[in-house]
């Protein structure tokens, strides 16, 4: 669905554009989210999961560590 809005007050335009820049979103995204929130509707959100609890949680495996070390090693002859 598409809408055309006219006579948007300057202060509203500035606030929406500032929010879009701050949140690194398009103006269209910010307007839709703001309208949905204003009407008490939930705007569709991308589902995100915090993965910090997994960082460093891998059990130590000597064979895996060796394989990773081998992959990280640079052969200077291949870069000539």
Three-state secondary structure call for residue 28: helix
* pLDDT confidence of residue 45: 66
List pLDDT tens digits, range 49-60: 777 777 777 788
List pLDDT tens digits, range 57-75: 778 889 989 999 999 988 8
Is the pTM above the cut of 0.85? no
List pLDDT tens digits, range 2-58: 999 999 999 999 999 999 999 999 999 999 999 998 998 875 666 777 777 777 777
- Residue 72 sits at φ, ψ, to 5 deg, of -80, -20
């Amino acid at each position: 669905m598409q809408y055309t809005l006219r006579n948007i007050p300057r202060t509203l335009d500035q606030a929406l554009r500032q929010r879009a820049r701050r949140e690194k979103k398009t103006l269209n995204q910010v307007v839709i989210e703001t309208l949905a929130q204003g009407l008490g509707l939930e705007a569709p959100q991308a589902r995100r999961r915090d993965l910090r609890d997994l960082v460093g949680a891998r059990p130590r495996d000597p064979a895996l560590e060796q394989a990773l070390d081998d992959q990280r090693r640079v052969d200077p002859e291949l870069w000539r």
